[in-house]
Structure 1
Amino acid sequence: MPTTEALSAETADASRFDGNLTELEYLALASSFNLADGHARQELTPGQSKVVGELPGLWAEAVMRPVDEIEEEAHRAFFHLLGQKSYPGADGRVLACYSSSVAMEIFARALVAETDTIALVHPTFDNIPDILRGVGLRLVALEEDVLHGGDLPAELLAEVGAIFVTTPNNPTGKVLSRERLARLAAQCAETGVVLALDTCFRGFDVAGQYDHYEVLEASGCRWVVIEDTGKLWPTLELKIGWLVRSANVGLPLAKVYSDILLGVSPLIMLMIKGLAEDAADGGLADLHEFIATNRALVRANLDGIPGLTFVDPDSRVSVERIHLGERLAMDVWEKLRAHNVYLLPCAKFHWANPSEGDHMLRIALSRSPVSLDVATRALRDVLLGE
């Protein structure tokens, strides 16, 4: 990762910045008003603090117990929390990774052994196309209105070896319904196309918590799902990305996995198990209320600004997009930076056509309400002071 100083020099002229979203997020890490990255950075709840306070005991437990037993308990607690009771946890089809990005890298490296072309939902977070392109895959944009509108065109399915969908999507919050997933999986089964899902924001929207694995297993298609704990709980980047696969996937996922890592710390697995159990005991509902309250705060603070609109009125995920009207997002980003406030310009989300995001910013909601209030009031001042 480049140094903060190097990135600051690169972005001195914001209009010429050609880096990725993670580089912009990195610049925000030292700020008290970092509303850039989508990771959970709010304060721990009492229940979560209790789990963290038990870490010394969890360490001792991790030393004594078999790792595979701990891992099975951890993914069962997490998957069942989010309604995924049909996930294949008993036959070695769940691989624990350091993060969802590592899981995605493993998937991409395995997929390129079979195909050179993949359809990817558009827009979505830019590290997904970057990882896929990085292994040599050619990307075909799959627009959200096409994805959610009905059967995919036969010519698209004939062109690609895989389809990659983020649901709920980042940054739009759109969720692939059970009916659409069933039909998409059926089309993939009919054509032999691999269906890959990134469900890292699933925990924020109950509409995305129907049993995806029940649908996928019934379809007979070849599938891969990437799950993630890192967006839900403020665990200082201690997290797990799970890579789950169908029995018939036919990709060398286990081999590539073994090339990259041995496994995830059982201490982190026990922590995730405890956090999932706390979430099942009311913590997840509390999180939904927390995000909804923060979203309402943002909308109230920015209400009435000429030209500003909220792009995703029905979103439940932990980010909020705003359209700035005629203003360029990078210009506003640069002015906010003078106040030590960081949001995320949206051009890079639109990886196939960046100009579509030139006038949008994304605001992270998994933050302290005080920081969120101060930062969005600064944004209001900047927009009204032009």
Structure 2
Amino acid sequence: MNRILPTVSAENLTQFETLALATSSMNLADGHARQQLTAAQSKIVAELPSMWAEAAMRPAPEIEQEATESFFGMLGQHSHPFAAGRTLSCYSSSLAMEILARSLVTTSDAVALIHPTFDNIPDILRGVGLRLVPVEEEQAHDEDLPAELLEQVGCVFITTPNNPTGRVMSEARLRRLAEQCAEYGVVLALDTCFRGFDPDAQFDHYAVLDASGCRWVVIEDTGKLWPTLELKIGWLVPSANVDLPIEKIHSDILLGTSPLILLMVKRLADDGADGGLAELQRTIADHRALLRAEFADVPGISFVDEHARVSVERLHVGSRLGMDVWSAVRSQNLYVLPCQKFHWARPHEGERMLRLALSRNPSTLLAGARVLRSALLDAPELQG
């Protein structure tokens, strides 16, 4: 018998995700890493007491440098400017984004933002008073941005790989976009938090950006890769010529990040460079194949992002409304993510889609997929 649950009115995607975290549920909602630790990662976690002693004894800047070099090196970002003092660590990528937003509003009133994308980005930007101009993902990847757009904004903000679509901006396209931003004096901001899942996103972005001469800021993140119970680091990396008060606002908000977490990140990144990252990518590919196979014969549904490699997957539920499906599976203790709010400029475009997280144990993923499959097949009230 289905449980009777209270009506939900979530104002953003994170609130939908919090509903899953607050229950002993099948949680396929948030994109954070919740799969089992690998054998190598378990050994690293077992070393936390000795890491604690090491972090207490060693100079924090030395640990921060090692962690930064290991993490950025694992992802091919060898031109990162840590030596120049411009690789600023934060508690999370969302905090890095808040610092960037507070910096941007000192010199501009408008940002061109990729559409769709995770809604905490537009929420944070709007929260400091910035006006948002949507840049459709196809336009951002396939053609020059129009002059009339670049003349009215102070920043172009791109998520690559994008969440939820998984689309990666190629090296050639990033170079051209950076050249355009340089021409118009516009800051180019990149959120690269899902970079680790897709080798196509691991060319050296910092070399491309520096060569363009544009003003740029990059946000990096460890939180999507490893199941570390929300122990994570975000980085905020500005260009030398960015001309924004980023370092001042960073210092207004935090003194520094935990050297213990930085040591853990270093060890995990070293393991990642030694084959752990490739293992993670294979795991996500296997989970995507498992999910797609489970829905292969369900009429009227499709997977939207055919070539995505990131740790989330969008499912188009045909004529059904995503919120109706969400409500039905919630009564079965399954939580997924309805997609309206990813489409922050036109929410109706996402109303027939759900996003499913793949960074889970296979048993959880399969159990959730079967609940969702049953709801799609057996509930006639969801058919229109």
Query: Aligned partners of 1:304, 1:221: CA distance in 2, in Å?
Result: 49
What secondary structure, in the 3-state scheme, does the structure 1 residue paired with 2:84 have? coil
Indicate the residue corresponding to 1:109 in structure 2: 102
Alpha-carbon shift at residue 31 of structure 1 (Å): 3.1
Indicate the residue corresponding to 2:321 in structure 1: 328
Alpha-carbon shift at residue 32 of structure 1 (Å): 3.6
What secondary structure, in the 3-state scheme, does the structure 1 residue paired with 2:83 have? coil
Contact 1:307 1:326 in 2 (8 A): yes
Residues 1:250 and 2:250 are matched in the alignment: no
- 1:225-276 alpha-carbon deviations (Å, 9 max, x no partner): 0000000000000000000010000000011111111110000000000000
Pairing partner for 2:187 from 187, 194, 217: 194
Indicate the residue corresponding to 1:163 in structure 2: 156
Pairing partner for 2:63 from 70, 82, 85: 70
Indicate the residue corresponding to 2:332 in structure 1: 339
What secondary structure, in the 3-state scheme, does the structure 1 residue paired with 2:149 have? helix
Indicate the residue corresponding to 1:221 in structure 2: 214
Residues 1:182 and 2:142 are matched in the alignment: no
Pairing partner for 2:19 from 21, 27, 31: 27
Residues 1:96 and 2:89 are matched in the alignment: yes
What secondary structure, in the 3-state scheme, does the structure 1 residue paired with 2:299 have? coil
- 1:165-209 alpha-carbon deviations (Å, 9 max, x no partner): 000000000000000000000001111000000000000000000
Query: Aligned partners of 1:129, 1:47: CA distance in 2, in Å?
Result: 37
Indicate the residue corresponding to 2:257 in structure 1: 264
Query: Aligned partners of 1:99, 1:383: CA distance in 2, in Å?
Result: 36
Alpha-carbon shift at residue 364 of structure 1 (Å): 0.1
Query: Aligned partners of 2:116, 2:24: CA distance in 1, in Å?
Result: 27
Indicate the residue corresponding to 1:306 in structure 2: 299
Alpha-carbon shift at residue 38 of structure 1 (Å): 0.2
Indicate the residue corresponding to 1:5 in structure 2: none
The 5 Å alignment of 1:122-141 reads: 122-141=115-134
Query: Aligned partners of 1:84, 1:365: CA distance in 2, in Å?
Result: 25
Query: Aligned partners of 2:180, 2:153: CA distance in 1, in Å?
Result: 13
Query: Aligned partners of 1:356, 1:168: CA distance in 2, in Å?
Result: 20
Query: Aligned partners of 1:68, 1:146: CA distance in 2, in Å?
Result: 41
What secondary structure, in the 3-state scheme, does the structure 1 residue paired with 2:236 have? strand
Aligned length: 374
Q: Report the AA paired with residue 118 of structure 2.
A: F
CA RMSD of aligned residues (A): 0.8
Pairing partner for 1:120 from 113, 122, 125: 113
What secondary structure, in the 3-state scheme, does the structure 2 residue paired with 1:159 have? coil
Indicate the residue corresponding to 2:382 in structure 1: none
Alpha-carbon shift at residue 10 of structure 1 (Å): 4.8
Residues 1:297 and 2:290 are matched in the alignment: yes
Moved over 3 A (4+): none
Q: Report the AA paired with residue 28 of structure 1.
A: A
Deviates more, 1:353-362 or 1:300-309: 300-309
Query: Aligned partners of 1:31, 1:114: CA distance in 2, in Å?
Result: 46
Q: Report the AA paired with residue 143 of structure 1.
A: E
Query: Aligned partners of 2:56, 2:7: CA distance in 1, in Å?
Result: 46
What secondary structure, in the 3-state scheme, does the structure 2 residue paired with 1:139 have? strand
Assess, with a 3 A threshold, how the Cα gap between structure 1 residues 18 and 47 changes in structure 2: closer, same or farther.
closer
Query: Aligned partners of 2:55, 2:84: CA distance in 1, in Å?
Result: 22
Query: Aligned partners of 1:373, 1:264: CA distance in 2, in Å?
Result: 37
What secondary structure, in the 3-state scheme, does the structure 2 residue paired with 1:113 have? coil
Q: Report the AA paired with residue 208 of structure 1.
A: A
Residues 1:370 and 2:363 are matched in the alignment: yes
Query: Aligned partners of 2:142, 2:184: CA distance in 1, in Å?
Result: 19
Query: Aligned partners of 1:333, 1:156: CA distance in 2, in Å?
Result: 37
Contact 1:32 1:371 in 2 (8 A): no
Pairing partner for 2:233 from 226, 236, 240: 240
Query: Aligned partners of 2:236, 2:154: CA distance in 1, in Å?
Result: 19
Query: Aligned partners of 2:216, 2:196: CA distance in 1, in Å?
Result: 20
Structure 1: 5+ residue runs without aligned partners? Answer: 1-7, 12-16
What secondary structure, in the 3-state scheme, does the structure 1 residue paired with 2:307 have? coil
Contact 2:25 2:335 in 1 (8 A): no
Structure 2: 5+ residue runs without aligned partners? Answer: 380-384
What is the percentage of aligned positions where both structures have the same residue?
66
Query: Aligned partners of 1:256, 1:86: CA distance in 2, in Å?
Result: 24
Q: Report the AA paired with residue 81 of structure 2.
A: P
What secondary structure, in the 3-state scheme, does the structure 2 residue paired with 1:47 have? helix
Contact 1:31 1:341 in 2 (8 A): no
What secondary structure, in the 3-state scheme, does the structure 1 residue paired with 2:315 have? strand
TM-score with structure 2 setting the length: 0.96
The 5 Å alignment of 1:3-42 reads: 9-11=6-8, 17-29=9-21, 30-42=23-35
